[in-house]
């Protein structure tokens, strides 16, 4: 039988969706990129896909918190509620999930 006539096996690819946010500046995705011995934290606003980045010296808690505040707070409305930052679970991000300073800035980490 010709290759072009063979049946393609059916596979199920699980997909996950979430409802879109009602407002801009309340949902972000963040990650740390390692490139050419540099660490770059990248934050993307999930509604508009606006992306901002900042170099960081290391992946310690203090560096990540400072970078997240610097990147997210200027993009948020002054009177908005808590903004959620979705992250992959690298060790540096896991350590700041319940950070008090982030909560004071109305930012929360979600995994």
* pTM: predicted TM-score of the whole model, two decimal places: 0.74
Fold of 27-110: Nucleotidyltransferase; domain 5 (3.30.420)
Phi, psi at 103, each rounded to 5°:
-65, -35
Distance CA 77, CA 54 (A): 21
pLDDT at 18: 64
Residue ranges in 1-111 assigned as alpha helix (H): 61-72, 91-94, 100-104
Mean pLDDT of 15-41: 82
Domain segments of the chain as ranges: 27-110
Which residues are within 8 A (CB) of 65 and not within 5 positions of it... i.e. 6 or more apart?
Answer: 96, 99, 101, 102
Q: What is the mean pLDDT of the chain?
A: 84
The answer to whether 48 and 68 are in contact (CB under 8 A) is no
pLDDT in tens, 57-91: 998 889 999 999 999 988 887 777 888 998 876 67
């Amino acid at each position: 039988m010709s290759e072009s006539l063979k049946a393609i096996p059916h596979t199920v690819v699980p997909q996950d969706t979430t409802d879109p946010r009602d407002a801009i500046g309340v949902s972000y995705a963040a990650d740390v990129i390692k490139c050419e011995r540099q660490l770059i934290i990248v934050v993307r606003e999930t509604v508009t896909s606006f992306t901002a980045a900042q170099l960081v010296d290391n992946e310690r808690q203090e560096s990540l918190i400072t970078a997240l505040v610097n990147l997210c707070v200027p993009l948020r409305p002054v009177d908005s509620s808590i903004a959620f930052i979705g992250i992959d679970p690298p060790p540096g991000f896991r350590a700041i999930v319940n950070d008090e300073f982030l909560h004071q800035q109305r930012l929360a980490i979600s995994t």
